[in-house]
Structure 1
Amino acid sequence: MDIQALNKQYIAGTWRDGKSARKLTDINPYNGEVITEFQMATPDDIDEAYQAARKAMDEWNQINPYKQRDILERAVSYIEENEEDITSIIIDELGGTHLKAAFEIGLVKNMIKEAATFPLKKEGKILPSVEDGKENRLYRMPAGVVGVISPFNFPFFLSVKSIAPAIGAGNGVVLKAHEETPIVGGTLIAKIFEEAGVPKGLFNVVATDIREIGDSFVEHPVPRIISFTGSTTVGRHIAEVAVRNFKKPLLELGGNSAFIVLDDADIDYAVNAAAFSRFTHQGQICMSANRILVHQSVYDEFIEKYKNKIASLKTGDPRDPETVIGPVVNEGAANNLNDLIEKGIKEGATPLLRGNITGNMVEPTILTDVTPDMAVAREEMFGPVVSVMKFESDEEAIQLANDTNFGLSGAVHTSDGERGVQLAKRVHTGMIHVNDISINDEPIVAFGGEKQSGLGRLNGEWSLEEFTTLKWISINYGQRQLPY
């Protein structure tokens, strides 16, 4: 797979440059090398993409559902045939490690396999009527064109998470790739669906930035749904614009997940699970455990083993198969993390482990003596930095876990599974996992957040529900008796 062939817009089934005079430079976050450049898309390009998606929907929905399924399954086959190349692109464009690439590709394949079943699941209903001789039918119809806005952290999966179900449900799609990851979260996906045989124009990709297009991607009259994954701040704006234009927003936003270690937990297992939950992909995952809450009776044992575990994680070149922690997305992100660490220390946090920050490379930092009012406990730290807090009882653990504006994921570790479940039910979060990691996503299980972590649910039947609408068609087989 030639990465240089993926530096075009993909609009109406054609690979071409955008109409802007400005270029989008795609940079390797580890070594700073320029991967490629894109001629940016403009609002006119976005209009063409949306119009193509709306037109192609008619063709797509005339195709036999079993053939639609086969097309989507071919996308999985293409990924499997090109997995080595895709891994290489993820490493170069995202700074993702081999572990991260394998994890993301696996998630993508499972999501497309699930979406491939959607053409066969769009069931309707026939319902009785209060009127004699009348039949009520409910048809499950495609919702309309879907606009998808991709994030930079897991752009391959978190784009496909909306794209594949939307297409499987019969919709056209336009994807705006994140400017940091226009290939993995954009044109790579276009190539996959093109090779699978999706009709030209049904799926489109635009690579650009907000300075070039403003709110035109969301405001455009064609899309009926805007699916966004990213920060809560940006998500709030997108939701406001979408609703103002009578579009449905689907939002997967930030997190501040709590990883709770109870007094009867398997400490060695909890240490390993907490390490994975925080430091996978440099902590740049919305479900990452920002706060580790540990019962006071096992606190000393936990933090000693946790420090040793995290200190052993190799930081460096993501092309090295032994590397666990690669670069964060850019130097601005690294600087923000440094500022948060400094602020936390000034507010009274103790750096149990303090990593160096050089350019985009951020070594792990563990902050202890953290209190709920500190910035490091309240803000989402999108990087390899974690706060550790002590609690005395289950009630206090629940109170600490809930003391946040977010509610995406979490974890509870205990030797008593039912105790863990009862505690988990009281944590205000869309997802929480007992004796597991906080980073979980399965293709048939409802995924989504509470509070400022998002709106809507995706995966399985919930994605089918989100990307379709119900249409009531009634038939009167006789003649209704009218009052005049």
Structure 2
Amino acid sequence: MTTETISGAQATDTLSGAFIGGRWVAGRGGHFEVRSPHKGPVHTVSRCNAEDVAEAVSAAKQAQPKWAATSVVERVEVLNRYHQLILEHAEEIAQMVTLETGKTINETREELWEYTAPAYQRAAEEILRFKGQTFPSTQERTNNKRLVLNHRPIGVVAVIAPYNFPTDISSIAIAHALAAGNTVVWKPSEYAPRSCAMVAELAEQAGVPAGVLNVIQGLGDAGAALVESDDVDGIFFTGSTATGMKIAERAGLKKLLLELGGDGPQIVLADADVDAAVAGAITGSFYLAGQVCTSAERILVHQDIYDEFVEKFESAIRKLNIGDPHDPATDMGPLCNETTLHRVRNHVADAVSRGARAIQHGPEEGLFYPATMLLDVPLDADIMKHETFGPVIPVIKIHNAQEAIDIANSSGLGLVASLWTKDLATAWRVAEALPHGAVNINESNNFWDQLAPFGGAGKSGVGRELATNFFDTFMEPKLLVFDLGDGVRGGRRTSNAW
């Protein structure tokens, strides 16, 4: 194709570069290679530097006032078209997510059909229901004041997304930001750049104006430049606690919505349905090879049912089909990258060196790591204090609910906990004692609802996403105070003003 200069950047092929001001352009930072966890190198993507980031932010800032002035109905129509377009292209995008990240094809189809596409429809519905308030005047003995609270978009929102749900988590943020009248600069994960570019490519066809959605591709330096930009007004980030803390340090007074790491306690009490708890543990521990912030990170089982649980859990683990992520029969694929694999191996080695026993099923080659249950793990092992984010789960024997609460509360994280018991009072008391943003009763850690508040406490994040909760962060409350000035005092008319 013929290249042309666009504000200093060169035009490039669709999907291989950045999307700035409605055009696909080559980044100034060279290229980076994308490697499939299962198939090796698959493509290269143009890498953005700080100049590209500044250009994308500038395009978003210039486009924002006009987009905010667009009627809510028009924005809703755009989002609904975006929803339909993603559904139409869901299979090809899902195949790309599997290629780039190693997620099983069943997991990526679920991501596209159940989460990514509907995010735009849900955001459209939610903005139609997002209401203001009126307040009585309480400072003066007058009926002249009218106090009205409404909301305005904050401006430019940076969306920095992880690799485990590359199109879903991004789309939640993008859809709600656009619904509110903000514009977006999106930095996808470097492990899934083309999957995300395929979603962004549909924006123009959906009717998203140039500059309203921009995409920069790159590594950590691009994300840092986006966080530090004076023209970015809010930041949505999902990822590790360590990176989230760095963002918080650098963000200044920007609005933040940070969804960070989890410690995933699954507590199984003596009266639990053991078979159901085992099924929940399989989903909680090995869905997406454990690379989910909500995953079960330790299972705390009452001593009365511990042996039964371990026996049945091991049997269920050995039934997992671990292999080619493109095969619909596969239950668990490889890990996404070497960094994750290195951490998983280190956590297992540390636990074993302290006396733990590993029970494993599946290959350990390339980026594949076996589904692993650890027994006899001491509480001071690394895996009991830090998120593993992989297919490894310690199973700990407990004596009572209070012991489980103490262990569950020891990490400083608090995203999602899971509790298994048949007793309503116990469920209520234990759930109240856990600091987590959500406690799933008789349900896997890896359960969430797209219209319920989602987020964590402590080191697991700041704020809540999904539904109108997103608007609470990325819309600014604005109070309008009217003095009617028409001579009414204490309910009595003192002039002929009306």
TM-score by length of 1: 0.93
Q: Does the alignment pair 1:258 with 2:268?
A: no
Aligned to 2:177: 166
Match of 1:123 in 2: 131
Q: Residue in 2 aligned with 1:176?
A: 187
Cα displacement string for residues 2-47 of structure 1 (whole angstroms, at most 9, x for unaligned residues): xx84112111111111122x2121111112132x212211212111
- Provide the residue aligned with 1:204 in structure 2: 214
Tell whether 2:307 aligns with 1:300.
yes
CA distance, structure 2, for counterparts of residue 215 and residue 80 of structure 1 = 32
Please give the alpha-carbon distance, in whole angstroms, between the structure 2 residues aligned to 1:335 and 1:209: 19
Higher alpha-carbon deviation: 344-353 or 278-287: 344-353
The aligned amino acid for 1:177 is P
Aligned residue in 1 for 2:421: 414
Secondary structure at the aligned position of 2:69 is classed as coil
- In structure 1, stretches of 5+ residues that fail to align are none
Residue 6 of structure 1 aligns with which residue? 15
Does residue 273 (structure 1) correspond to residue 280 (structure 2)? The answer is yes
User: Using a 3 Å threshold, how does the CA distance of structure 1 residues 69 and 286 change in structure 2: closer, same or farther?
Assistant: same
CA distance in 1, matches of 2:446, 2:217: 28
Residues 202-256 of structure 1: CA deviation (Å, up to 9, x unaligned): 0111001124x4732111111111111111111100001012xx21221111111
Preserved CA contact (<8 Å) 2:235 2:254:
yes
Out of 340, 357, 367, which is 2:347 matched to?
Answer: 340
Report the Cα offset of residue 388 of structure 1.
0.6
Question: 2:490: which partner in 1?
Answer: none
User: How far, CA to CA, are the matches of 2:121 and 2:21 in structure 1?
Assistant: 25
State percent identity of aligned pairs: 35
**Residue 156 of structure 1 corresponds to which residue in structure 2?**
167
Quote the Cα distance in structure 2 between the aligned partners of 1:449 and 1:125.
28
* 1:193 and 2:203 are equivalent in the alignment: yes
| 8 A Cα contact 1:448 1:456, kept in partner | yes
Could you tell me which of 226, 229, 237 is aligned with 2:246? 237
- Paired position in structure 2 for 1:32: 40
Aligned to 2:386: 379
Q: Deviations over 1:316-356 (max 9, x none)?
A: 11011111111111123212211211111001111133654
How many angstroms apart in 1 are the aligned matches of 2:133 and 2:430? 39
Question: Cα–Cα, structure 1 residues 192 and 214, in superposed 2: closer, same or farther, change >3 Å?
Answer: closer
Write the distance in 2 (CA, Å) between the matches of 1:86 and 1:355.
28
**Higher gyration radius (CA):** 2
Matched, 1:444 2:454: no
1:141–1:156 distance in 2 versus 1, CA, 3 Å: same
Q: Distance in 1 between matches of 2:390 and 2:127?
A: 39
Report which stretch shifted further, 468-477 or 340-349: 468-477
Contact 1:338–1:357 (CA<8 Å) still a contact in 2?
no
Superposed CA RMSD: 1.8
The alignment partner of 2:387 has SS state of: coil
Structure 2 CA distance for partners of 1:462 and 1:332, relative to 1, 3 Å: closer
Gaps of 5+ in 2: 1-12, 488-498
Distance in 2 between residues matched to 1:37 and 1:290, nearest whole Å: 34
Partner of 2:292, secondary structure, is coil
SS at match of 2:304: coil
Amino acid in the other structure paired with 1:189: V
Contact 1:118/1:464 (8 A) holds in 2: no
2:413, 2:431 → 1: CA distance? 15
**Separation of aligned partners in 1, 2:134 and 2:271:** 53
Q: How does 1:130-141 map onto structure 2 within 5 Å? A: 130-131=139-140, 132=142, 133-141=144-152
Counterpart check, 1:142 vs 2:150: no
SS in 1 for 2:256: strand
Whether contact under 8 Å (2:132, 2:150) holds in the other structure is yes
Structure 1 stretch displaced more, 214-223 or 337-346: 214-223
Partner of 2:462: 455
Task: Check the 8 A contact 2:322/2:362 in 1, yes or no.
Answer: no
How far, CA to CA, are the matches of 2:339 and 2:49 in structure 1? Answer: 26
Question: What residue is the counterpart of 2:395 in the other structure?
Answer: 388
Contact 2:33-2:41 within 8 A present in 1 as well: no
1: distance between equivalents of 2:468 and 2:111?
A: 22
Picking from 277, 289, 293, the partner of 1:282 is 289
- The structure 2 residue matched to 1:476, chosen from 483, 492, 497, is 483
User: Is the contact between residue 408 and residue 450 of structure 1 (CA under 8 Å) also seen in structure 2?
Assistant: yes
Deviates more, 1:25-34 or 1:167-176: 25-34
- Paired with 1:81 and 1:173, the residues of 2 have a C-alpha distance of 23
Supply the distance in 2 between the matched residues of 1:54 and 1:149 (Cα, whole angstroms): 17
Contact kept in structure 2, 1:56 and 1:172, CA below 8 Å: yes
Conserved 8 A contact 2:354-2:378? no
Distance in 1 (CA, whole Å) between partners of 2:32 and 2:213 is 21
Counterpart in the other structure of 1:60: 67
2: CA distance, partners of 1:102 / 1:298: 36
Q: How far 1:444 moved relative to its partner?
A: 1.8
What residue in structure 2 maps to residue 361 of structure 1?
A: 368
Confirm or deny: 8 A CA contact 2:317 2:361 kept in the other structure.
Answer: no
Q: Secondary structure in 1 aligned to 2:476?
A: strand
2:102 — aligned with what? 95
Distance (Å, rounded) in 2 between the aligned partners of 1:441 and 1:224: 28
Question: Are 2:436 and 1:429 aligned?
Answer: yes
Deviation at 1:56, TM superposition (A): 1.7
**Preserved CA contact (<8 Å) 1:352 1:365:** yes
Counterpart-to-counterpart distance in 1, 2:122 and 2:94: 22
In the aligned structure 2, how far is the partner of 1:340 from the partner of 1:62? 52
Which of the residues 457, 462, 474 maps onto 1:467? 474
CA distance in 2, matches of 1:451, 1:296: 29
CA distance in 2, matches of 1:350, 1:119: 52
Count of residues in correspondence between the two structures = 471
1:68-114 residue CA offsets vs partner (Å, 9 max, x unmatched): 11211111111211121122111111111122112212122332222
CA displacement at 1:59 relative to structure 2: 2.2
Distance 2:432 2:204 in 1: 43
Amino acid at match of 1:444: L
DSSP 3-state at the match of 1:215: helix
